[in-house]
Amino acid sequence: MPFHSSVPEIRIELDQSHDAADNANVNGNGVQQRRQQQQTMVRGRVHIRVAKTVPVHRVCIDFVGDESVNLRAWAPLSSKTVSREVLCRRLTVHRGGMLNGGHHIYPFTVRVPPWVPSTLTRDMCRIRYVVRVAIERASLVSLLPSLGSSSGGGGGSGASDTKAVGSAWVREEEVECRRIRTSQRLARRKRVDQSVGCPDGSCHVRIWGSISRDVVKPGAHIRLDLSARTSDPRYGLRLLAASFAECVSCHVQVKGEERMVRKISNL
C-alpha cells in the first residue's frame, strides 16, 4: 500500500502551564528550603489517527529551538538571515513495524535546560521553539536533520495540517518558552571592575563587584553586588545608579571570516 494513500492525522495537544522542577532541601535547623533547579517542563500529548495500517520506520517527537538573525539593519527579518539550532530534544515513541489503523495517543515530557534563551521576537532577530512530530516512512528513510526547513501548521487539527517533507509526515506546534530566574547566590557571575574619572582629571571613582549572569525578563529579580571608592578623600559619592539592557549577540560568517555582530536595546 503506498504511504500517501493513508495520510495520517496528527494533532499536538500542549498543557497550558509549563512548570519548573524544584528540589526540597532541609538545612541544619530543620527548616525546609526550596532550591529551584530552573528546568521548565513542557508536557503534552500527540494524537495520531490513521485510517488503515501503514508501515513506518519510526515516530519521533522533537522539541526544537532555533534562532534567526537578520544580517541587514535596514531590512525586515526575511531573506538575508542566518539561523542556528539552540536546542533539540528527541523522543522516539514508536520504532519499526506497522502503525495500526485507529487512534494513537503518545504523552510526552521535555525538560528545557536552564541555559537556553527565552522566546524572542524583535525586528532583527527571532528565537522560537516548536514541538515537531514526524512519522517516517519505512521504505525510504530520511533522517530528521532534513526537516529543519519545514514549517508545519499550528493550532488546528486534521490531515490538512500535516506536511509531507521528504519521506516523512510532519506537524509542528509553536511553544512560548519564558525563562524567569531569581539569583540567590552568584554561582554564575560576571566580574565588574572599571573606573570613571572627572573631565578635569581631579578625581576618579573605581567601581568593582559581581553581577549574576542569569537571564531575566522584566519584573524578575537580578542580584548586583557593587563597591565604589574615590581616589581623593575630599570627594564623596552621592549617587550610584545602574541600568540594565538587553543584549542579543550572534556569530556570522562574512567572506569566510567569523565576526561578531551585537545589537543592544534597553529593556
Write the CATH number for 153.
2.60.40.640
In a domain, 184, yes or no: no
Q: Digits of tens for pLDDT over the chain (267 positions)?
A: 444 446 789 999 998 765 554 444 444 443 333 444 456 788 999 999 998 888 888 999 999 998 887 766 555 545 667 788 888 999 999 987 888 889 999 999 998 887 787 888 877 778 899 999 999 877 644 434 334 333 333 344 444 466 666 678 889 899 888 765 544 444 566 777 777 777 666 777 777 777 766 655 556 666 777 778 888 787 777 777 666 655 555 455 555 554 444 444 433
CA dihedral of 151, 157, 161, 165, whole degrees rounded to 10? 70
Cα angle for residues 144, 145, 150 (degrees, 5° grid) = 80
What is the number of domains present in the chain? 2
What's the pLDDT at 207?
A: 78
Co-location of 23 and 52 in the same domain: yes
In a domain, 18, yes or no: yes
Of 149, 175, 201, the domain-final residue: 175
What's the pLDDT at 44?
A: 93
In a domain, 183, yes or no: no
Co-location of 37 and 59 in the same domain: yes
Co-location of 237 and 132 in the same domain: no
Co-location of 206 and 240 in the same domain: yes
Co-location of 243 and 168 in the same domain: no
Co-location of 75 and 142 in the same domain: yes
Cα angle for residues 102, 136, 133 (degrees, 5° grid) = 75
Owning domain of residue 205:
189-266
Cα angle for residues 143, 147, 153 (degrees, 5° grid) = 135
Residue type, 35: R
What's the pLDDT at 217?
A: 59
